[in-house]
Amino acid sequence: MPGASLDFFYEFGSPYSYLSAMRIAALAERAGVQVRWRPFLLGPIFRAQGYEDSPFNTMPLKRAHMWSDLDRLVRIAGLPAVTRPEPFPANGLLAARVAVWLDDASRPAFSRAIYVAEFVEGRDIGARETVRQVLAGLGHFCDDILAEAEAPANKEKLRGETEAAQRLGLFGAPSFVTRDGELFWGNDRLDMALDHARAIG
């Protein structure tokens, strides 16, 4: 019998997804909930709703608040100070392709390492070389992985994940979905999502 579980949908360009990626493992372990890490792309979902860009780009005041909010949240969470990546939001396509290609055991460490490169070191994760270095740093054979991540079947796999996110009603990242289809949007809802996942078992 499977225990409690939670689907964690994240986008590599999303600052609040970074926070959840750094927090979720310890919280889920304590709650006794198994997490499925599901990278997806927010771009197609925004476009399907008629938005061409991130709200952080179209609303400068919202962006300004997001960065100071993030500064406060990492202090509280005991995470390193944030470096604001340029360009923002980063193009997370290659990283997402690699993440869906990796197996369930390797995906969390790779995803966290990409987020650290992006939001702590301020590197451009849209650059192929950054993704290569992150993979190499984790001991992967990076050239093989990049080739396989960009093969048609794997591109299709990521498209499928983004479509799955869309079918579940996702409109932002991070989002958490429990087995009964309840959707929890935002890093601020991680604890509530874990509570619900545990309650329905």
CB 72 within 8 A of CB 109: no
Pick out residues in 67-106 that bind its own copies (CB under 8 A): 68-69, 72, 76
Nearest to 46 by CA among 58, 63, 61: 58
Pick between residue 64 and residue 147 the one whose CB is nearest to its own copies: 64
Pick between residue 1 and residue 76 the one whose CB is nearest to its own copies: 76
| Structure-token pair, residue 62 | 């919202």
The binder of its own copies chosen from 53, 65, 144, 151 (CB under 8 A): 65
Site string for its own copies, 140-179 (x = CB under 8 A): -----------------------------xxxx-------
Number of residues that bind its own copies (CB under 8 A): 24
Pick the stretch among 62-70, 86-94, 128-136, 140-148 that binds its own copies (CB under 8 A): 62-70
Let me know how long the chain is.
201
Residues with Cβ within 8 Å of 121's Cβ and at least 6 positions away in sequence, in order, are 83
Handedness of CA 124, 51, 16, 38 (dihedral sign): negative
Active site residue 14: yes
Q: Does 129 bind its own copies (CB under 8 A)?
A: no
| Structure-token pair, residue 90 | 């980063």
Q: Does 49 bind its own copies (CB under 8 A)?
A: yes
The binder of its own copies chosen from 77, 81, 147, 192 (CB under 8 A): 192
Within 10 A of 178 (CB to CB), how many other CB atoms are there?
21
CB 165 within 8 A of CB 40: yes
Nearest to 115 by CA among 26, 24, 7: 24
* Chain positions contacting its own copies, by CB under 8 A: 49-50, 55, 58-59, 61-62, 64-65, 68-69, 72, 76, 169-172, 182-185, 188-189, 192
Q: Which residues are catalytic?
A: 14
